[in-house]
A and B are shown apart, each in its own frame.
Chain A
Amino acid sequence: MNLNWRLIIKNGLLGGIIAFYLSAIGMAETFSQRYLISTFLSTGQLFVAVGGVTAGILTARALKEDYKKSTAYIGSLLAGVFSSLPLILLIFLIQVLVIQQTGQEVIFRWRDMFVNFSPGLVAMLTFGQGLGLGIPLLILASALLAGLGATFILFPDRLRLAWLNGLIWMLGIGIFSENVTQILGQFGGRGLARFLFQQRTLNPIAAILIFAGAFAIAYFRVHKTVQNRWTGMPARQQKRGRTIGLVLGILLLISLPWMVGQFLSQALFMVGLYVMMGLGLNIVVGYAGLLDLGYVAFFAVGAYTMGILTSTGPLGQSDLSFWAVLPIAVLVGLAWGVFLGFPVLRMRGDYLAIVTLGFGEIIRILATSDWLAPFEGGPQGILHIPNPNFFGITMHQPQTMYYLVVAGSLLIAFVTIRLRESRLGRQWMAMREDEDVAEAMGINLVQTKLLAFSIGAAFSAMAGAIFAARLGNIFPHSFNLLISINALALIIVGGLGSIPGVIVGSLILVGLPELLREFTEYRLLMYGLLLIVMMLFRPEGFLPEETQKRELHADEEELAPLET
């Protein structure tokens, strides 16, 4: 058997380095007590396992073409063995540098530097068995994980998909145990929840059942069967089915907050808020190609407009209602978009990015300063912003505010779609593709950019105003760079220029972290890595913008000769 050792070692070590990295920055140990399935598998272990699995996947993929399957499996297992080497190195480092230092009088404590090089991490990596037994176990486990990774590539297609499906559902329900419990609780499924989870972790039997169910559904292609029956239906029935689907969808959208409870409704509210912002930013970045990193500035403008005009506290300037101020906030956002956009729009790509970033920071610094404090409260912020009142109903719950962001998102999506299909939308895209040529097509760049910038700003201000009315008080530190980055990351992950992409991106990047609060510390790390990975491997995003069919869409008609 002639194996490609170089490749195996390279992929193995690569996987090992990933595991080493995730362990060294603390993702392994921090979540070592967060169990997914009984006390058998924890989230921390899952993170470490990523290394071995990656080694297996990479090796299997590389060997698949040129070797027999059995050889590819063996290669992957070997890569798994190599992937344990960095982890073993880590264990020894901790053993020598940290554990043997404890209790001694030393001047330099390595633990002070590498805060996550803890005895607990060693215990976790060696399965609590001590070094002698633990390290062979680690090597074995790594090899098995790589073998698991290899199955993701080498299993026959049908089996592979079912296998993946089963694992994803099992782990997914394990990770979202709390939310699943909550939702089941709302539907009187408390008994089911008690069966599934013991102390927030999946009970092993339930885990196996979930796995088996998901596996079977994928294996017997239930999805395909349903689809086949659907396409087999006559057109009229399909149309009726689609109408029913639409009605059900709308009903779901309406009843969703009442089904999932207060906590999840708040998460949905945040998702909706970011959908609004994402759609606005999508016009600026996705259509017009202007990288705006200071988008939070307009969000803050909207929020402060709402705060200053409706607050019942000492800073409130008027008694206007939420509904009166909302359009004002949008207009103020529009005006600020023009005002801030004017000087910077002659700059190109990367300069624009940095300058807008600067604007975002300037606004935040100004909002925090004593200078403007008499108007907007400085660091103390604006308090006592009333919740909106809708025909006598005060919208103080996240469930009711949810409707507001859904309505806002729909409105913005509507405007976006209309604009995209107009002359202005084409101007934006032409500008994104090639600014010089666009200008040579007779497009006034300043005007076109300014429109993108200020329409985007207006949408952001609208989101900000709703945000202020939801929270009831606003502070300058809520308007930091992260909001801009969040909004940017979600439209990129979803797919620049794509409206469904914004929703998907928002669900992934805003919804998930709201549910998985325990990961807060590592949220931005994951964002950063996600952005890099997306740009390297899928720059068009998960749901890329679709090209529009125009030529063949129109009815074929007589083509008259061209005249002038």
Chain B
Amino acid sequence: MTIILKVDKVTKRFGGLVAVNSFSFEIKEGAIDSIIGPNGAGKTTLFNCITGFYKADEGEIIFNDHHIRGFSPDRVTNLGISRTYQNIRLFANMTAIENILVGQHPHLKTLWIEAILKNGRFKKEEAEALKEARRLLHYVGLSGLGDHLARNLPYGAQRRLEIARAIASKPKLLLLDEPTAGMNPNESAEMMHFIRNLRDELGISVLLIEHDMRVVMGISENISVMDFGQKIAEGTPKEIQRNPRVIEAYLGRGAAAGFETQTPASAG
């Protein structure tokens, strides 16, 4: 299996604070991997470095043979990485379907002049985009809600719409930042199932940041654990559960015993 993303000794500093410290990991094509760690460990910063929001100070980020460190976010997306956000960031005053249409941006080619002239190519492309958007809407189970403004959708629907928007760009790698935050166990289980489907049906590799251990342990093939910007462990869910350093990072010294048998619903 080929490696789709390789993060090599990436460091990101803010002034004196080292948010990500020489962090390395790899994702194989078709994998579902996770990064876990206590709050403030630097997980989202790492996401931001990968997607081009921040420029990593040191290290290499290689996606499908492209060195993408320092690329602007739009270029990263056009190469095939897509993401969601910890605190949902939809285009609030646009309808659900318009949100997805925006997500399709990398695959639309007509020029604005063609839009003014409304030529055949434009009409065809728009019709196809709309059809695709409706299909995606259906895929994430939001059929019928397409004309509602994104901000008027219920919370769970917003989460799913955000994912629909992310996969509208047909990414090869999807970065999900706490997709089950604020969900009850049932909804979380559904989301897990949904993420697995994404990989199985669409062939998208997935990288998760997640706090919900049930989700992480249930879905991930490989887990990297981050604390204070550094990687303190890596391995399969089983290995991570037994790793004393992880337990220590999460619960502090002395509390390690309980962790081994019972995974807390939401740690950190």
Contact = CB atoms under 8 A, between A and B. Distances in A.
Contact of B112 (A419, A547, A551): A419
A132 to B, nearest CB: 60
A547 B95 contact: yes
B202 A564 contact: yes
B107 to A, nearest CB: 9
Contacts of B102: 426-427, 429-430, 438, 441, 443
A430 B122 CA distance: 20
Interface string A402-432: 0000000000000100110111111101100
Interface in A426-473: 426-427, 429-430, 433-434, 436-445, 451
Contact of B115 (A419, A554, A557): A419
Nearest to A436: B53
Contact of A442 (B77, B126, B133, B136): B77
A547 B110 contact: no
B181 interface: no
A548 interface: yes
Nearest to A545: B93
Contacts of A421: 115, 126
B134 interface: yes
A437 B85 CA distance: 9
Interface in A541-558: 547-552, 554, 557
A440 B53 contact: yes
A562 B133 CA distance: 11
* Interface hub of B102, B106, B108 (most chain A Cβ within 10 A): B102
Contacts of B149: 547
A426 B89 contact: no
A560 interface: yes
Contacts of B131: 554, 557
Contacts of B85: 437
A393 interface: no
A436 B87 CA distance: 13
Interface string B94-112: 1111100111011010101
B1 interface: no
Nearest to A540: B93
A441 B105 contact: yes
A430 B102 CA distance: 7
Contacts of A441: 74, 77, 102-103, 105-106, 165, 169
A323 B47 CA distance: 55
Contacts of B91: 429-430, 433-434, 437-438
Interface of B, secondary structure class, is helix
A559 interface: yes
B153 to A, nearest CB: 13
A422 B134 contact: no
Contacts, number: 131
A550 B97 contact: yes
B135 interface: yes
Nearest to B53: A436
Nearest to A455: B112
Nearest to B107: A442
B147 A551 contact: yes
B146 to A, nearest CB: 3
Interface string B123-148: 00010001101111111000111110
B115 A418 contact: yes
A439 B73 contact: yes
A554 B130 contact: yes
A423 B146 contact: no
Interface centre among B77, B112, B135 (most CB of A within 10 A): B112
Given A426-B101, A429-B94, A441-B165, A551 B137 contact: yes
B74 A423 contact: no
Nearest to A440: B73
Given A418-B116, A419-B116, A427 B105 contact: yes
Given A429-B94, A547-B149, A559-B134, A436 B73 contact: yes
Interface of A: 415, 418-419, 421-427, 429-430, 433-434, 436-445, 451, 547-552, 554, 557, 559-562, 564
Given A430-B91, A439-B72, 15 more contacts: A419-B115, A422-B122, A423-B110, A427-B105, A433-B94, A434-B89, A437-B91, A438-B102, A440-B76, A440-B82, A441-B105, A550-B97, A551-B97, A554-B130, A560-B135
The 7 closest A-B pairs by CB, nearest first: A551-B146, A422-B115, A442-B77, A433-B91, A442-B106, A439-B73, A430-B102
20 contacts: A418-B116, A423-B101, A426-B98, A429-B98, A434-B91, A436-B73, A437-B85, A437-B89, A438-B102, A440-B83, A441-B77, A441-B106, A442-B78, A548-B98, A550-B133, A550-B147, A551-B146, A551-B147, A560-B135, A562-B202
Interface of B: 51-53, 72-74, 76-78, 82-83, 85, 89, 91-98, 101-103, 105-106, 108, 110, 112, 115-116, 118, 122, 126, 130-131, 133-139, 143-147, 149, 165, 169-170, 201-203
